[in-house]
Structure 1
């Protein structure tokens, strides 16, 4: 279980709004009684809808419309909507790193006044509600694998992911507008110490990725793609989100992961500047922070760490034992340098796009 001090360390997840994923709940009487939130779809959206969106609708009569998009598309779409003054979404989850960037602050509602009501909540982590956004949960990006694919020892480190002789099979990495974690894993595989990881040596990272490139059978852009590739055995070892790995396990799939090859990350709820249903969006967020039981159910389904310690206490011990612990973070899990990543985001993406072509 992550301690408050560890969680503070993280502050560490597409087609543009093509389809609306409705719930089985009846629509309220007034069309204005809605809130539109973007999610990455699939098991992620299903867990949020079952345990958060639908109970919110039952309590308030406000219908939650979820729109499927990749993380990159969420940021691009939100930026475009604010620039054109045609905002049709209300909120979306953005990465812990991205919310501290100037680009994010330019398109998001500042929540200073809203957050004041939560400042004395002892069960919430100190940064649960900050002007840039509200913590949805903390989780990890890590190396997951099929334990049945290997005889004998199992892969545990990023160096093992590069060892295709000892651990044969396809590999998988994400390919979207946030390439730092792929570069970082390459550097760790190349022997860079965790404490010396930032600033990233991009040249060295791409050179190391050249070695593994022939074995990469899937470059995924969405969480759904990452789990579908695993289901179809497109790869035996891959870098995916812990929430998605947990969803696979809940399906009864044989999957394992290693906290020795992991990055601490997290999502924050962002209200888009000019959101047409801003008040409803604030109600949805307040409902999240005020409902430890709902946080517990969502994070039990997705294997994440909720912002409330009361929620963590409600989760089964077997689930809590699978969450990254304070010892994991102390000894193995990488806490990314958010400032460095944001300061060099454009450069990283340019280098990445040139390499991936």
Structure 2
């Protein structure tokens, strides 16, 4: 099995910023009509997704898929505005997809072609659909707590029962949700987020946060070096540190599932083929390839019925039914509409 990778993020959620050269995959004798271009986040992450998703999709459809890298929604907006769309399918964060949908930057998805069975309805939208998830989870030092670390955000907030150095992400996304869960909000009733309540909850824990991490690499280093006793961080980062020898554990209890999504930019020249490729890419059989290359869970729950994900591997994945049931899905549509307000308040909170 290929070596598992972990999530790399820059910008507001730590995505790759380095460009990659456009590369032809599985070149056939197809003409331009049988060719599309996709964009993803570059680097090792894109290499893994290429092997898991785009190369098998190209092979099964008998087409050529070219790859480029993106820095996010602004790139798509620039192409659509200039009426010069280069990408037939683009990968974005779930909040980026939600914002792009609001701005009218994407083509409508034909759900007669793209099958949405197996997806949570929250991530099946008129112009975008999720394809993988990562999770923000609670991790703890086994040297400090053994197996009895914090099992909920209320535990994480409980500095008397669980004394020690803490770390949270320096961004409101996922942290506001955690703050509300810590304050007793039902996971099924998180949205719309009550910002006043969330920031009031955060004020309680703020004096006890030793490090506000700003990248996945930093979070992993905090775990690897044992600099904090507990952390709220992306599961792939914690699991990678554990595999490298860190004495840490984490739980999916009250984890926060965050999706990446796929969309077709408005004005593509080969929309029909893009739609077919999108349909194939999010099929259970193709998405089931993801865990072979990277520590993310497929967004289609039917991927676990294909037989391609061994039970021992499945139980470690965030979207396996047993683990997904313990978590809450981050609503990209809410962040797409209210994200700027939340970030403005966060900037004031973190700098006080």
Which TM-score tier does this pair reach, normalised by the shorter chain? 0.7 to 0.9
Structure 2 CA distance for aligned equivalents of residues 45 and 250 of structure 1:
22
Q: CA deviation at 1:325?
A: 5.8
Structure 2 CA distance for aligned equivalents of residues 273 and 34 of structure 1:
14
Q: 2:113: which partner in 1?
A: 117
Q: 2:291: which partner in 1?
A: 299
Q: CA deviation at 1:136?
A: 0.8
Q: 1:285: which partner in 2?
A: 278
Q: Does 1:171 align with 2:159?
A: no
Deviations along 1:139-184, whole A, 9 cap, x unmatched? 5332234434534621211133234563423413152xxx242112
Residues 17 and 336 (structure 1 numbering): CA distance in 2 closer, same or farther, change over 3 Å? closer
Structure 1 CA distance for aligned equivalents of residues 242 and 274 of structure 2:
32
Find 1:39's aligned residue among 41, 66, 78: 41
Classify the secondary structure of the residue corresponding to 1:302.
Answer: coil
Q: CA deviation at 1:351?
A: 1.3
Q: Does 1:346 align with 2:340?
A: yes
Structure 2 CA distance for aligned equivalents of residues 290 and 53 of structure 1:
12
Structure 1 CA distance for aligned equivalents of residues 166 and 181 of structure 2:
20
Corresponding residue pairs, total: 330
Q: Is the 8 A contact 1:136 1:307 kept in 2?
A: yes
Q: 2:81: which partner in 1?
A: 83
Q: Is the 8 A contact 1:98 1:104 kept in 2?
A: no
With 276-285 and 262-271 compared, the bigger mean Cα shift is at: 276-285
1:317-356 to 2 correspondences below 5 Å? 317-322=311-316, 323=318, 332-336=326-330, 340-356=334-350
Q: Is the 8 A contact 1:53 1:64 kept in 2?
A: no
Q: 1:19: which partner in 2?
A: 19
Q: Is the 8 A contact 1:57 1:64 kept in 2?
A: no
Structure 2 CA distance for aligned equivalents of residues 219 and 53 of structure 1:
32
* Unaligned segments of structure 2, at least 5 residues: 1-12
* Unaligned segments of structure 1, at least 5 residues: 1-12
Structure 2 CA distance for aligned equivalents of residues 29 and 228 of structure 1:
47
TM-score scaled by length of structure 2: 0.73
1:87-236 to 2 correspondences below 5 Å? 87-96=85-94, 99-100=97-98, 103-104=101-102, 106-112=104-110, 115-119=111-115, 124-125=118-119, 131-151=126-146, 153-163=148-158, 166-175=162-171, 179-194=172-187, 197-214=190-207, 215-221=209-215, 223-233=216-226, 235-236=228-229
Q: CA deviation at 1:277?
A: 6.5
Deviations along 1:19-39, whole A, 9 cap, x unmatched? 116679687789965513122
Q: CA deviation at 1:279?
A: 5.8
Deviations along 1:217-237, whole A, 9 cap, x unmatched? 24324x455445544555443
Q: CA deviation at 1:255?
A: 4.4
Residues 104 and 93 (structure 1 numbering): CA distance in 2 closer, same or farther, change over 3 Å? farther
TM-score scaled by length of structure 1: 0.72
Residues 272 and 226 (structure 1 numbering): CA distance in 2 closer, same or farther, change over 3 Å? farther
Residues 335 and 152 (structure 1 numbering): CA distance in 2 closer, same or farther, change over 3 Å? closer
Q: 1:52: which partner in 2?
A: 53
Residues 239 and 277 (structure 1 numbering): CA distance in 2 closer, same or farther, change over 3 Å? farther
Deviations along 1:257-279, whole A, 9 cap, x unmatched? 22223123333211222346656
